Amino acid sequence: MTDDEYGALLLAPLAGDPPGPSRVDVSKAMRDGRRRRRWLRWSPPATLTAVVAALITGNLLLGPAQLHRPQPVLPPEPKLPQSCTAALLPLGRWKGAELEGGDSTGRWLVGVSDPFDGGDNRMLVWHDGKLVVEAPKQYAGIWMNDINSSGIAVGWRAAGNGLPFAYRDGRFIQLKGGGGKAVAITDAGVVAGLIIRDGRPLPVRWSYPGAEPELLAMPPDPPLEVEVAGIAPDGTVVGRVGNNSYQWLPDGTARRIPPPSLPGASRVATMAQMVRFGWIYAAVEDDSPGPSRGPGDPGNSGLYRFEPGSGTWQRLAGNSIGPQLIGNGTLTRYMQDEPSLWVGRQVLKLSARPASLPASAAETGYEIRAVSDDVQVLAGTALSNRADPAVPIVPVIWRCR
Amino acid sequence: MDDRSDAAYVAYVHGRVPALRRIAYLLCGDGHQTDDLVQETITKLYARWPRISGMDNVDAYVHTMLVRAFLDEKRRGWWRVRLLGSPPDSPADAPGGAEDRTVLRAALAKVPPRQQAVLVLRFLCDLPVADVARILNCSDGTVKSQTSHGLAALRRILGPELPVGGAR
């Protein structure tokens, strides 16, 4: 039986129509749609004057207003490695695990065991490529999203009642503030995440894992779509509220990131995905009324990056889902047959494969989750493309130079 | 948006709601959430209607919006579960084979959301790989590998006694 035949047969019992009459209200959709258009136009006074550059295919092209201004000083581009080798990370007594995050130095990596053979999800920590921590059974079900250069990991307990957690000095600590999750941590120990207040997710910052959460400012009447994409080394939290991206600076100031000025665009949505290498990477959608685009034509939309110091936008690609972004936005978690990721404005393709994968190279997909600042260490997860329950999910490390 | 554009929107939506509800139901398996997903989709559609209405394949665009609404809901599920005290996508009651459906739906809910969408679109909505790739904005290869991963995950969750084709 092929996978297709098996899938169709297996899922056949779920076929059917929804029970009961429709509650869909077209008039309400039109009323709400009008309100959303007004919200899209909501714009707080920007404390940052945007020097927005129109960019085509990654080349910086200054618009007429900027012709007489000096070129902005941009962060240096990270240097891509010449070659990489790949190896499986050690698993100790576990048969499978997923890699979730890594620190800026590449020395610390964090993941979770895969319940491959009926076990549970335990946090695993690697230091210099060696497995050094396995969460005890009472802390099963805590998933870490990030780890810093001191080996402090942050994440959340997923089962039942989402709670933010950190792991520090051999102990698990529930972060203050109630339900929510921790998303990312700086090397200085500042944690970014979300907590739930009055049924709404709110972005928060903990100055250290035992601190009270600092509620980050939100626009009036915010939509429910709130995400934290990451935290910059200085503690600036970056995220998305509805169709706008925000920076929450260390002094508490909230700044809406001004969308890029796009040719002919009057309404532009931005969704921050990651903050790295001095830039904020965001999916940008041109949502302007106007002539329709054909399927597959991204128009102005695509993957962009924003440099906060100068307000510079650069367009990287017409598709926001391609090479991976090592962040926590909604468009960062997916698998690739040929692993690649954005490093600065370039794409690093990882052609090296571990010598001993559970499945053959041609039958393995990858999800990259960690890259060191010097691009010497990368890590991710390898999954078999075969629908074979005997093949475990394994963590992979690439060492480059 | 002028009256003529509104009329075209209303005509389009009224013609598509039954099909959208069916896809939404296959994705989430819950009658209430089905209507929420469709409501969210047609609201977004209205906001973008002037640009979208002239497209060659509006249906494909709307299907993408519907699947994204589903994936957004799944992403928000982690806090909704706590807020509501129980998962919002509990299986719907249905006569005949209800046990299999319940087991399958619960298993499917444990598969990563994107893989859930791939499995439903391919095997319940009968869409070809290329159409699923277009809806999910990814390559054909990714759809195939997500299919394999999704099926492998289902096998792992369901264990040796798989309710294949409604018969154990």
A4, A5, A9, A11: which to substitute to probe chain B, counting the most B Cβ within 10 Å?
A11
Residue A240: CA atoms inside 13 Å, Cβ hemisphere, count?
A: 25
Residues in A 249-288 with any Cβ partner in B closer than 8 A: 287-288
- Residue-wise pLDDT for A60-111, tens only, equals 333 333 445 567 789 999 999 999 999 999 999 998 898 999 999 999 999 9
Q: Which residue of A has its CA nearest to B43?
A: A29
| pLDDT tier, A52 (very low <50, low <70, confident <90, very high otherwise) | very low
pLDDT of residue A325: 94
- Percentage of chain A modeled with pLDDT above 90: 54
pLDDT of residue A41: 37
Contact B144 A10 (CB under 8 A): no
Question: Between A199, A384, A389, which is nearest B83 by CB?
Answer: A199
User: Does A162 or A115 have the greater pLDDT score?
Assistant: A162
Q: Is A21 helix (H, G, I), strand (E, B) or coil?
A: coil
Give the pLDDT of chain B (168 residues) as one tens digit per residue.
455 677 788 888 888 898 999 999 999 988 888 998 999 899 888 888 877 777 777 888 899 889 988 887 776 543 333 223 333 333 333 334 667 778 888 888 888 888 999 999 999 999 999 889 888 878 888 888 889 888 988 888 887 555 554 433
All residues of chain A having their beta carbon less than 8 Å from the beta carbon of residue B42 are 24, 26, 29
B140 in A contact zone (CB under 8 Å): no
Residues in A 149-188 with any Cβ partner in B closer than 8 A: 156, 158, 160-162, 179-181
Dist. CA A340–CA A351, nearest whole Å? 9
pLDDT of residue B76: 52
B48 in A contact zone (CB under 8 Å): yes
- Residue-wise pLDDT for A1-34, tens only, equals 677 888 888 898 898 889 888 888 888 888 777 7
Is the per-residue pLDDT at A247 higher than 90? yes
- A188: tokens are 């200085």
- CB-based contact B26:B33 (threshold 8 Å): no
| pLDDT tier, A164 (very low <50, low <70, confident <90, very high otherwise) | very high
Dist. CA B104–CA A122, nearest whole Å? 26
Task: Enter the DSSP assignment of B86.
Answer: S
Q: Which residue of A has its CA nearest to B131?
A: A295
Average pLDDT over chain A, rounded to whole? 84
A117 in B contact zone (CB under 8 Å): no
B7 in A contact zone (CB under 8 Å): no
Dist. CA A285–CA B61, nearest whole Å? 14
Q: Which residue of B has its CA nearest to A363?
A: B145
A1, A2, A30: which to substitute to probe chain B, counting the most B Cβ within 10 Å?
A30
pLDDT of residue A25: 85
The CA distance from A309 to the nearest CA of chain B, in Å, is 31
Is the per-residue pLDDT at A279 higher than 60? yes
Contact B46 A199 (CB under 8 A): no
A5 φ, ψ to 5°? -65, -40
A1, A2, A10: which to substitute to probe chain B, counting the most B Cβ within 10 Å?
A10
Rg (CA), chain B: 17
pLDDT of residue B26: 94
B87 in A contact zone (CB under 8 Å): no
- A218: tokens are 């939100």
Question: Between B18, B79, B93, which is nearest A196 by CB?
Answer: B79
Is the per-residue pLDDT at A144 higher than 80? yes
pLDDT of residue B91: 38
pLDDT of residue A60: 35
Is the per-residue pLDDT at A386 higher than 80? no
Q: Which residue of A has its CA nearest to B77?
A: A162
A9 φ, ψ to 5°? -70, -45
pLDDT of residue A48: 28
User: Does B83 or A273 have the greater pLDDT score?
Assistant: A273
Is the per-residue pLDDT at A36 higher than 70? no
Is the per-residue pLDDT at A167 higher than 60? yes
All residues of chain B having their beta carbon less than 8 Å from the beta carbon of residue A116 are 156
Task: Enter the DSSP assignment of B121.
Answer: I
Dist. CA B43–CA A29, nearest whole Å? 4
Question: Between A29, A294, A388, which is nearest B46 by CB?
Answer: A29
Handedness of CA A243, A380, A76, A71 (dihedral sign): negative
Nearby residues of A202 by Cβ (< 8 Å), 6 or more positions away? A194, A195, A196, A215, A216, A218, A226
Q: Which residue of A has its CA nearest to B44?
A: A33
Question: Which run of H or E residues covers position A70?
Answer: none
pLDDT of residue A37: 53
Burial letters for A116-145: b for 16+ Cβ neighbours within 10 Å, e otherwise?
beeeebbbbbbeebebebbbeeebbbbbbb
- Residue-wise pLDDT for A300-320, tens only, equals 888 999 999 999 999 999 877
Q: For the beta carbon of residue A325, count every other beta carbon within 10 angstroms.
A: 26
Q: For the beta carbon of residue A352, count every other beta carbon within 10 angstroms.
A: 16
Contact B9 A30 (CB under 8 A): yes
All residues of chain B having their beta carbon less than 8 Å from the beta carbon of residue A287 are 47-48, 51
SS (H, E, C) A299-327: CCCEEEEEECCCCEEEEEECCCCCCECCC
Question: Which run of H or E residues covers position A144?
Answer: strand A142-147
Contact A17 B25 (CB under 8 A): yes
- Whole-model pTM? 0.64
Which amino acid type is present at position A400?
C
Contact A13 B104 (CB under 8 A): yes
Nearby residues of B141 by Cβ (< 8 Å), 6 or more positions away? A337
A292, A366, A393: which to substitute to probe chain B, counting the most B Cβ within 10 Å?
A292
A76 in B contact zone (CB under 8 Å): no
Dist. CA B111–CA B156, nearest whole Å? 10
